[in-house]
Structure 1
Amino acid sequence: MNLSSLGFLRSLRKDNRQFAVIGLGRFGRAVCTTFHKLGYEVLGTDISEKFVSQVLTDQIVSHAIQLDSTQPAALKEAGIFEFDTVIIAIGNYIQESIVTTLNVKEAGVPHVVAKASSEVHGKLLQKVGADHVIYPEFEAGCALARSLTKPHILDRFDLDPDNSIVELIVPDVFHGKTITELQLRTRYGLNLIAVSHDGKFEVNPDPKKSLQQGSAMVVIGCNKDIDRLPM
């Protein structure tokens, strides 16, 4: 996460319960499904009648409309411009993605999230007003490479290019040692946030607690220091 992303997330209305998703391919459907499971109302749109029918059949949207999002009149008639947050989930059709983003921003939609398929695509989306650009394929590729090369790391949240919060399997050499004995801050420059116990995490664990082989721990610190941990 970078500072621009943080600023965007802070600007979102906390009471917003409605979202519009333009583009109902795999990514768009995943967004709709998650919104729906979390209890939010979602309007889905796509130029494909098949995709619109599918999300209605799957009941992952509140409403779905077939339309050409490159046409401002169609977006206006569908009520897209009345939404506080619109997700442009068109990734493979760059021209349509850019024109759609331009349409919703020029109409005054406060928060527009757009999916990009490349760095150039992302820059163009920002040029026409996208408030937040995401790169799902790139991020998924990075996550896969990390999971294959560092299987001991179960999950990772990048604070910035140099610092992260990671969940990892407790190293074998840490087994049976207390948090105090490990001296993670002194030896590795890392702070221990939580350790797992009986399937649940204990946040800010007791320094006298012994770590167990096969359990998990969550640490925060510099990536270089995280890489120095024994595995």
Structure 2
Amino acid sequence: MDLSSLNFFKSLRSDNKQYGVIGLGRFGRSVCSTLTGLGFEVFGADNDDERVAQIISERLAAHCVKIDSTNPHALREAGLLDLDTVVIAIGNYLEESIITTLNVKEAGVKHVVAKASSEVHGTLLKKVGADLVVYPEAETGAALARSLTQPGIIDRFELDPDNSIVEVMVPNEFHGKTIIELELRRKYGINVLAVSRDEKFEINPEPTYRLCRGTAMVVIGNNKDISRLTAVCSSKQNEKVV
């Protein structure tokens, strides 16, 4: 996600309780499971009997039907076109993905999120009306590559091309020292947003908070500054603790 997505998220209704998910592969299934777990009513749809049956048996959606999503009448009968937000999770079948997105948007669904498998696919989805295009495989691949090359980083969220929020392991060098003693803002140009404690995170820790090896901290800053910090985290994790 980046700043260009802000308008989309600002336009979402805070009182929306119903979501549609078309395409119940791994990505669509994950969307259904998470939304249902958060207490929202999910309308699922797929053209595969087995996927629909699995979603129903595991109760990952309040409603789930087998339909041909390239047929606007089928979408209407399933109730998917009456929803405020619909996720098109068909990424691997370009024609079906594009036609479904077009059908949903032309029917007046206000918020349409579509999964793309390539930049060309994403461009076409935007041209037929998708309000937000996501690239889960590309994002996962990029995250894995960063983790492999920067083992000090546990997780990362890019705010824009130059700035990120990252979760890193506390290096041995920082053990027992307070945030203010480490002068992280002066030395590394980063700010600490949270620290892990008893399997939970403490948000906005006090400057006097003492860091502990084997735990994690969440920091925000410029990517170049974060790289300098993670270099320390990575190298220090490999040293023996005396």
TM-score by length of structure 2 reads 0.91
Alignment of 1:134-213 (within 5 A): 134-213=134-213
Tell me whether 144-153 or 59-68 shows the greater mean CA deviation.
144-153
CA distance in structure 2 between the partners assigned to 1:213 and 1:49 by the alignment: 50
In the TM superposition, what is the alpha-carbon distance from 1:176 to its structure 2 partner?
2.4
Alignment of 1:91-130 (within 5 A): 91-130=91-130
Q: Which residue identity lines up with residue 150 of structure 1 in the other structure?
A: Q
CA distance in structure 2 between the partners assigned to 1:193 and 1:167 by the alignment: 10
Show CA shifts across 1:142-191 (max 9, x none): 12112222222112111111101111111222222222221111111111
CA distance in structure 1 between the partners assigned to 2:32 and 2:179 by the alignment: 42
Q: Which residue identity lines up with residue 87 of structure 1 in the other structure?
A: V
CA distance in structure 1 between the partners assigned to 2:195 and 2:32 by the alignment: 33
User: Structure 2 vs 1, CA of residues 78 and 202 (structure 1 numbering), >3 Å: closer, same or farther?
Assistant: closer
User: 2:14 aligned with 1:14, yes or no?
Assistant: yes
User: Structure 2 vs 1, CA of residues 50 and 206 (structure 1 numbering), >3 Å: closer, same or farther?
Assistant: closer
1:161 aligned counterpart, secondary structure: coil
CA distance in structure 2 between the partners assigned to 1:202 and 1:209 by the alignment: 10
Show CA shifts across 1:44-95 (max 9, x none): 1111222222211222111111111111111112221100000101011100
CA distance in structure 1 between the partners assigned to 2:74 and 2:206 by the alignment: 59
Tell me whether 157-166 or 140-149 shows the greater mean CA deviation.
140-149
Residue number in structure 2 paired with 1:227: 227
Among all aligned residue pairs of Structure 1 and Structure 2, give the percentage whose two residues are the same amino acid.
Answer: 65
Aligned pairs, how many?
231
User: Structure 2 vs 1, CA of residues 102 and 183 (structure 1 numbering), >3 Å: closer, same or farther?
Assistant: same
2:201 aligned counterpart, secondary structure: strand
CA distance in structure 1 between the partners assigned to 2:61 and 2:17 by the alignment: 13
Question: For structure 2, which runs of at least 5 residues remain unmatched after alignment?
Answer: 234-242
User: Structure 2 vs 1, CA of residues 14 and 195 (structure 1 numbering), >3 Å: closer, same or farther?
Assistant: same
Tell me whether 25-34 or 105-114 shows the greater mean CA deviation.
25-34
Q: Which residue identity lines up with residue 129 of structure 1 in the other structure?
A: G
RMSD: 1.3
1:228 aligned counterpart, secondary structure: helix
